Amino acid sequence: MERGGDQPWPSAIDTYVYSNVFVLLAINYRELPNGLAVYFSIAVLALTWFLLRVAKSLWLAPTRFRLNLITLLTVVAMIVAALAYKWLQTDEALRQEIRGPLIACVMGVLMGLVAWWFLTLYRAQQIEGRLRELDQQDRALVLARRLATAQIQPHFLFNTLASVQHWVDTQDPRAASTLRSFTAYLRATLPMFERESLSLTEELQIVRSYLEVMQARLGTRLQWQIEIGLGVDESLQLPPGLLLTLVENAIGHGIEPALRGGSITVTATSPVETQVLIEVRDDGAGLNSDAVDGLGLQNSRERLQQLYGERARLTLKPLTPGCSASLEIHAVEPKP
């Protein structure tokens, strides 16, 4: 029910039922016994209100147990009404006078039972359909995580291994430190997409290992720094690999195409309470005028939407020179 039963009660049903009841009462008002017409109309309206309340309760929790319980209570009420009608047979005039209204009430209750039954079946099918839809979304999210795992740049892996092998062969001192950073990177990234989220601390550690490897490969063409402001909640949850994707894009589209190289700055600040602003800035080649989101950014936006909904926003903007990727997250729902 928590996953699939979030559809609200259609308010049009109340309007439809009450309008039909009023029309039927207006048509049959003169046929009702003298002196009982007003009371009978009030009773019908009260019964209609009660039936709608029962229908709403079934809508919120359309279980077979609730339907059977309500049906049993209704049958008991009808039996009590039948016994009362039999007891009234001692007064023939009164019995004949209330026979019509009583039969109408019984028919109304029977119609209510049928309506409850159809409503429960419809609602159960609606929730089952919603659960199937949510299951498909979950499967799509799992596939997206696997796709993100496959998106760890193969050329980065092979080029790094080739560089480490060359440095080992030439006894370059960069080999040991690069291999340690590369091992830490692989240890963190390979299993991370099996998780629904990572903390900001874990994400930054992955980014740090990646930047250490890339700095060893690019040398003086790459400078980087990571800055964490005061008050930033480092336990903030992020989609796995989100920051890594932003940093990879900054290097691949900003630093590497620039002959002079450039610098990357990753900052996390908390401008206001419960809000975290994470920025990845570079002073490289910058955005093209016709730039569009690649597969990595599209995947990141979808996973961010899945985790935070409207409380998170990822934006790119050009700098002079370079580019800035800003991730704004409200950790809790803002107060109205």
Please give the average pLDDT of every successive group of 10 residues along the chain, which has 336 residues. 57 79 75 69 81 75 70 73 63 57 62 65 69 72 57 67 86 87 79 75 90 89 92 87 87 87 93 87 79 68 83 88 90 52
Long-range contacts of 289-297 (CB under 8 A, 24+ apart): 294/249, 295/147, 295/151, 296/148, 296/151, 296/245, 296/248, 296/249, 297/245, 297/249
What values do phi and psi take at 274, rounded to 5?
70, 5
CA distance 66 to 312: 40
**Contact at 8 Å (CB) between 334 and 273?**
no
Q: Strand order of the sheet with strand 222-228?
A: 222-228, 262-269, 275-282, 323-330, 312-318
pLDDT confidence of residue 99? 58
pLDDT confidence of residue 273? 76
pLDDT confidence of residue 204? 92
pTM: predicted TM-score of the whole model, two decimal places: 0.55
CA distance 308 to 302: 10
Q: Which two tokens stand for residue 130?
A: 């919603």
**Contact at 8 Å (CB) between 293 and 301?**
yes
pLDDT confidence of residue 333? 54
Taken in order of first residue, the domains within the chain and their CATH numbers are 11-144 (no CATH), 151-330 (3.30.565.10)
